Amino acid sequence: MALEQMRPVSRRYDEDEHALPTEWVDYYWQTGRKGAPGSLGGATDGFVQVCIQAEELCFGDAGLYLRMPTAALGGSAVSAAGTPEQKERFLRPFRESPHPIWGAMAITEASAGSDSAAIQTSARYDAERDEWVLNGTKIFCTAGEGASQIEGGFVVVWATVDKTLGRGGIKSFVVPAKTPGMKLVGLEKKLGIRASDTATLVFEDCRVASANLLGGRAKAEKKAEPARAGDKGFKGAMATFDASRPIVAAMAVGVGRAALDFLVEELARQGVEIRYDSPPRSQTALERDVIDMQAELQAARLLTWRAASMMNRGRPNSLEASMAKAKAGLVVTKITQKAVELLGPPGYSKKLLVEKWMRDAKINDIYEGTQQINQLIVARRILEYSSSQLR
């Protein structure tokens, strides 16, 4: 699938940003979606396999992977924080819809990037209509166009029910596509992953049923106790990252592998063989560079599988998920840059896809928690410091 369906259209949809890759979307929906994120089994069902699939597909093209019609991060949020009834209601269409649909998650705001607790988008409970009313603006929403505009999809929106409560007031809400009050106002022009739709969404008096609060149906009387509205609240929402960070790490490994495999093949074509069994002192600088890149990539892959395996067994994996994400994001950035460098002028040319992979790689070091944020989480976990003690 990666080589036969994705690579042939990689350059076209990198250059024609925001165009829907119809042939890829239709192929995936008809043939390739079995086992994709959105399974009713959620993140606990074959999660290592989900990560392997992410690596293989991003070996093909990371931008097209993000444009696949799946529940994506919205599905991860529902799986992590939703009730059994919500998982059934929101994820089943991804198996049964007659046409491609998308899921998305909207967290980032202009004044709240990595600091999720600073979210300003508000949710007000209307007891008379038993609905939540959302107001605010979300930016850099991956798959936001398809999820907000195509019937059957949904966007999981993080909002605060009481700004004075800080992170205690943050809840997540499922907003079905085409809900009045949810508006698509723009698509980002990006450095990489240009085949994906990265949207800006505005919510103006956008009403959703109280049953769309992830974690549990809000009771009218809970208006006075907004911090307790929803069974899992902020912790449940943050658990989304424990599922999504290993997937992003796997995506990074896939992009890195694409660049590294191409580099080794090109060197072999030029008559340069890597002497793995030679002492380091007798190897060339190029050989040592390639071996180091391969070792780093394998280390990132093993950390990713470890985090996924722990989640698969129902074990807490916040530390391991952040370790995998931090390692893989850094490794893929270095590997793709080095591949461009070692290939010389062709590596920097659009005649090859290596320069594209270098541009696609950087986002893996930024979204789902930046390199710095994930290192901070790792340090807190290892040193047993709270967020107030280590900032």
Active site positions, annotated: 368
Cα–Cα distance, 313 to 271 (Å, whole number): 46
Nearest partner of 337 among 269, 270, 251, 256, judged by Cα: 256
Q: Give the whole-angstrom CA distance, residue 320 versus residue 274.
A: 32
Q: How many Å separate Cα 238 from the centre of its chain?
A: 13
Token readout for 350 is: 């659009």
The C-alpha atoms of residue 345 and residue 341 are separated, in whole angstroms, by 8
Phi, psi of 203 (to 5 degrees): -115, 115
Contact call for residues 42 and 82 (beta carbons, < 8 A): no
- Provide the token pair at 167: 């992170």
Neighbour count for residue 7 (Cβ, 10 Å): 16
Residue type, 290: V
Strands (E) across 63-153 are located at 103-106, 122-126, 131-142
Nearest in space to 214 (alpha carbons), one of 63, 103, 291: 103
DSSP lists the bridge partners of residue 174 as 156
CB–CB of 67/57 below 8 Å? Answer: no
Give me Rg for the CA atoms of the chain: 21
User: Nearest CA to 124 among 180, 174, 171?
Assistant: 171
Is residue 228 within 8 Å of residue 157, measured between CB atoms? no
